[in-house]
Amino acid sequence: MNAPVNGLKNRTWSELSIGDTASIEKRVTSRDLFLFAHASGNLNPLNIPHLDVQNESSTSVVAPSMWIGSLISSVLGNILPGPGTLYRSQDFDFKGRAHVGDVLQISVTLSKKLECPEVVFDTSVKNAQGVCIASGKAIVDAPLENVFLSPNELPGLLMDEHDHFDRLIKEAKKLQPMPTAVVCPDDATSLAGAILAKTEGLIVPILIGSRLQIDKAAKEAKLDISNIELIDITDHKLAAAKAVELVHQQRATAIMKGNLHSDELLSQVVKKDGGLRTLRRISHVFVLNVATLDQPLFITDAAINIAPDLATKVDIIQNAIDLARACGIVLPYVAILSAVETVSFNIPSSMDAAILAKMADRGQISGALVDGPLAMDNAIDMGAAKTKHLISPVAGKAQVLVVPNLEAGNMLAKQLTFISHAQPAGLVLGAQVPIMLTSRADNERARLASCALAQLYHAFLINGYSTFNLSTASE
């Protein structure tokens, strides 16, 4: 039995039977050990990774035994008996050690029912090889009334950490690599991102830019580009124009931004003559891997349309819906943000949001549940939505956030990236091909994730549907 994905429901004392069992899996991460050290005050150097918190390669660090023991409480408190359970006692026999990267199986089995509400559980923690590293008995008071908690009601730190980019990259690898025009990858970061995407089987890069500078970047990053096509163009504007030309020649089905300004690339894309325009307005979507959310967070438009009017917002929303669906979200929840969650004649964005929500009701925006105006708090947090007594299919569950203007979106996306440490990726939609418009400050992983988005979006446009469901992609 694994931890429930749709919420936490308990079992009362009267519903429990001898032999009832439950278990969860947990991978030991550096972050877990840092959090335990801070919470417990245990600064034993044997238990604290000396690498960056994001680096999971340190297998010599020993997980604290009491942290391992605390995992038992997550099964008892979340699954069996579940919410409402209270400890009386717990003993442990620690027979082995766990290290960063180990996958642990944490199990409890009901062995005795004592006088209500007491019950006794046999508890164990095993490693991936089935070797028991901790065992003992827990005596707890089982709940006497049924309780159900929605995942949206749980504080973020109680939720599992998710890596959505890994799942999206895994799905994208199942598709054919995309011939991709990489414009001016003349620094180590942008070039390494393109080569990593090639190595991972996501793209077939065509490098466009100064051969001298690209060779210098390859030498700096220790990359072999001898077998990759390179078109030597020193001028950034001409390099961007060449990328557009390759699309028209059907030699490229995607474009990746390298070490140049976004305006230099997009000016060639949006040209009326010879550009890559379609009937839709071009817009940008940030896709953020937020560790405490159970699906990626989409923010639009934070990079292209400065102060979009209503007609432009329709295309911005539809582009984002299509990308979310391409990423395996079957029916995206779209929140049109304002400063308030009610229509105010003094706040134009709230008026726009109400109109756009009604357009979605009438099918003029399709493929998602759309509502607005919603403020940021009640769009993303179920508790805030309940406090304000909002009746909305989207409030507290939004996966796509549509911002009023570029300034608001850019601030929101960068706050989540640099303060909340979300991992970013980005894609320009509405052109004839997807355009990977990462920031020059983004790392290789952001560029790899953007390639995966382009792959999945391209496949969605061809097929008209996604080939996978993100909520089951990791099963």
Return the CATH number at 247.
3.40.718.10
CA angle 165, 168, 172 (to 5 degrees): 135
Structural domain includes residue 454: yes
Asked if the structure places residue 1 within a domain, the reply is no
In angstroms, the CA 152 to CA 146 distance is 18
Are 176 and 320 contained in the same domain?
yes
Interstrand relation of 254-257 and 178-183 (parallel, antiparallel or unpaired): parallel
In a domain, 319, yes or no: yes
**Cβ neighbour number for residue 50 with a 10 Å cutoff:** 10
Instruction: Please tell me the distance from the alpha carbon of residue 470 to that of residue 452, in angstroms, as a whole number.
Output: 14
* 142 and 75 within one domain: yes
Instruction: State both tokens at 277.
Output: 């325009």
304 and 431 within one domain = yes
Cβ-defined contacts of 32-41 (< 8 Å, 24+): 32/63, 32/67, 33/61, 33/63, 33/64, 33/67, 33/100, 35/157, 36/64, 36/67, 36/70, 40/64, 40/66, 40/67
Pair of tokens at residue 460: 């969605």
Tally: H helices and E strands in the chain: 13, 19
Do 229 and 205 share a structural domain?
yes
- Supply 405's token pair: 């203007």
Separation between Cα atoms, residue 46 and residue 103, nearest integer Å:
19
Query: Computed from CA positions of residues 388, 392, 396, 401, in that sequence, does the dihedral angle turn out positive or negative?
Result: negative
Q: In angstroms, what CA-CA distances link 292 with 182, 295, 449?
A: 33, 9, 18
**What is the extent of the structural domain holding 136?**
8-149
In a domain, 378, yes or no: no
| Strands in 253-375 per DSSP E | 254-257, 283-289, 297-300, 333-337, 369-374
In a domain, 416, yes or no: yes
Give the residue from 149, 174, 190 where a domain finishes. 149
Q: Rounded CA gap, 37 and 66, in Å?
A: 11
State the DSSP H helix or E strand holding residue 8, giving kind and residue range, or none if neither: strand 8-9
Give me the residue label for tokens 């600064």: 43
Say whether both 198 and 305 belong to one domain: yes
Q: What Cα–Cα distance (Å) separates residue 437 from each residue in 20, 449, 455?
A: 52, 11, 14
Are 207 and 234 found together in one domain? yes
- Give the domain CATH number at 24: 3.10.129.10
Number of domains in the chain: 2
User: Is residue 353, in this structure, part of any structural domain at all?
Assistant: no
The amino acid that residue 60 corresponds to is: S
Does 436 fall in a domain?
yes
- Angle, to 10 degrees, between the axis of helix 444-463 and the axis of helix 188-199? 50
Q: Pick from 126, 149, 172: which residue ends a domain?
A: 149
Can you tell me whether residue 232 is helix, strand or coil?
Answer: strand
Residues of the chain with pLDDT under 70: 1-7, 50-59, 150-162, 440-441, 472-475
- Examine the domain organization and report whether 79 and 181 are in the same domain: no
pLDDT for 45 equals 87
Same domain, 234 and 267: yes
Give the Cβ contact number of residue 265 at 10 Å: 26
Task: Assess whether 21 and 86 both reside in one domain.
Answer: yes
**Do residue 135 and residue 170 come from a single domain?**
no
Q: What gap in Å lies between CA 341 and CA 160, rounded to an integer?
A: 29
Question: For residue 9, what pLDDT is reported?
Answer: 86
Q: How many CB atoms lie within 10 A of CB 54?
A: 11
Does any domain span residue 205?
yes
One domain for residues 205 and 58: no
**Do 123 and 233 have their domain in common?**
no
119-144: b or e for each residue (b if 16 or more CB lie within 10 Å)? bbbebbbbbeeeeebbbbebebbbbe
**Cα angle vertex 175, ends 172, 179, to 5°?**
95
Residue where a domain terminates, one of 120, 149, 178: 149
